[in-house]
Amino acid sequence: MVRFVIVGSGAAGLSAAQAIRENNLDADVVVVSRDTKFYSLFALPFYIAGEIDGTSLDRFSPQFFQDIGVELRLGTTATEVKPESNSLVLADGTALSYDALLVATGSSPVLPPIPGLDKEGVVTLASLKDSEAILARSKQIKAAAVIGAGFVGTECAIALHTLGVQVTIIEREDCVLPRMLDEDTAEIVMQLLRSNHVDVRTSSTVDAITGDQKVEGVQVGENQIPCDLVVAAAGVRPNLSLLKGTKVKTNIGVLVDKYMRTSVSNIYAAGDVAEALDRATNTPKVNAIWPNAIAQGRIAGQNMLGLQKPYDGSDTMNLINIFDTPVLSIGLTSAEAGSCETFQVRRGKVFRKLLLRDGRVLGYQSVGDLRNAGFILQAHRTGADIGEWLDALRKDKLLSHLMWQSLLKRK
């Protein structure tokens, strides 16, 4: 009997398992995961803040997969892939044979080289275990420092603030959310954070984490910032160690073709570990967001069955809620886009910025309102010329259903 093995129980891995079972009722499907529960990483800050409970983290229950005949090996670590024998080696020495393998191992936090990272009270936010550690410690502390003002760091800072913890964000770049926003958009977000009593220090680095055995503060230049908790959120990198020593080609992530297939024909990759086609640049890129992982996992699962379903590319898109103010980015920032037309609208507390070239959307950022975001995302995906609707967008008019239909037909 044909056997498909999936390493990773995140969005990509579980999406692939579903896709395989939907198209084939007879094959063996095995999911190997070091986690013991299924949960959504993007929901962890909301769990910390108490906005959702533990049961709401679960995207699926193990029973769901058992009911559709998927074998689960949870709490199990895969240590080596042997392509020459089509086998996956587990930590206990067991070798699982496979006809096709999906690597959906996600990513791990990058820890900056700071003295004191080994002290009690230094944490990351990359797993349910991490979030439970932060939540438990938040009940005993008064102040926390978050290293990094990226998406994870900012969301974690807001969650801790919600719990009554005094929070300081330290970011080495000159703005918050530097991979997501231009400086003018980021300035608005920084003011939102500060007006809600979150201390933000940009163009700053943590030189050391102070204290004896436990965290007592962080040293930022000549300033000592007292705190009882340090969250290291300085970025992530794809988990590639499983493929070390194999002929699977990697760059920043695992390089895949339009079928999510690696350089070894029966090994696939999807999710945060995969470097797949990016719609905006038409080049390989790691776009580590949940919708991309779902789509890539589904395509990988179908193609492991030989269905030859092409992946049409990942989106660069992020949406974050800053104290009840939505902040959205789609596509490229100004620095990434280079020479282009820029259209801005500032109306009250709402700010929008659209980057265009030849009438086509390169990037979009908004603060305070999501009006027409779906239209702009679709225009970005299709590469359609939206020149005739620019005046309506400038005036914040809600684009009609007929405009949508027209856009969907264009490419």
Domain boundary among 211, 232, 253: 232
User: Could you tell me if 68 and 138 lie in one domain?
Assistant: no
Alpha-helix residue ranges (DSSP H) falling in 3-57: 11-23, 44-48
Domain boundary among 173, 207, 232: 232
User: Could you tell me if 215 and 242 lie in one domain?
Assistant: no
C-alpha dist (Å) from residue 231 to 120, 166, 195, 405: 11, 13, 22, 46
User: Could you tell me if 98 and 154 lie in one domain?
Assistant: no
Q: Is residue 318 part of a domain?
A: no
State the SS3 of 337-389. HCCCEEEEEEECCEEEEEEEECCEEEEEEEECCCCCHHHHHHHHHHCCECHHH
Assign residue 92 the CATH number of its domain.
Answer: 3.50.50.60
Q: Is residue 30 part of a domain?
A: yes
User: Could you tell me if 74 and 138 lie in one domain?
Assistant: no
Assign residue 352 the CATH number of its domain.
Answer: 3.30.390.30
User: Could you tell me if 348 and 267 lie in one domain?
Assistant: no
Q: Is residue 335 part of a domain?
A: yes
User: Could you tell me if 134 and 217 lie in one domain?
Assistant: yes
Per-residue confidence of the chain (411 residues) as pLDDT tens digits? 899 999 999 999 999 999 999 999 999 999 999 998 888 888 999 999 999 887 777 767 778 888 899 999 999 999 999 999 999 999 999 999 999 999 999 999 999 999 999 999 999 999 999 999 999 999 899 999 999 999 999 999 999 999 999 999 999 999 999 999 999 999 999 999 999 999 999 999 999 999 999 999 999 999 999 999 999 999 999 999 999 999 999 999 999 999 999 999 999 999 999 999 998 888 999 999 999 999 999 999 999 999 999 999 999 999 999 999 999 999 999 999 999 999 998 989 999 999 999 999 999 999 999 989 999 998 998 888 988 888 888 877 766 555 556 655 654
User: Could you tell me if 248 and 162 lie in one domain?
Assistant: no
User: Could you tell me if 103 and 242 lie in one domain?
Assistant: yes
Half-sphere exposure of 146 (CA within 13 A, CB side): 28
User: Could you tell me if 60 and 138 lie in one domain?
Assistant: no
Could you tell me the pTM of the whole model?
0.92
What phi and psi, each to the nearest 5 degrees, are found at residue 84? -65, -25
User: Could you tell me if 352 and 256 lie in one domain?
Assistant: no
User: Could you tell me if 295 and 157 lie in one domain?
Assistant: no
Q: Is residue 50 part of a domain?
A: yes
Q: Is residue 319 part of a domain?
A: no
Question: Of 358, 181, 382, which Cα lies nearest the Cα of 280?
Answer: 382
Give how many domains the chain has, as a whole number: 3
Q: Is residue 79 part of a domain?
A: yes
Domain boundary among 232, 262, 288: 232
Q: Is residue 328 part of a domain?
A: yes
Domain that holds residue 389: 324-408
Q: Is residue 128 part of a domain?
A: yes
User: Could you tell me if 75 and 42 lie in one domain?
Assistant: yes
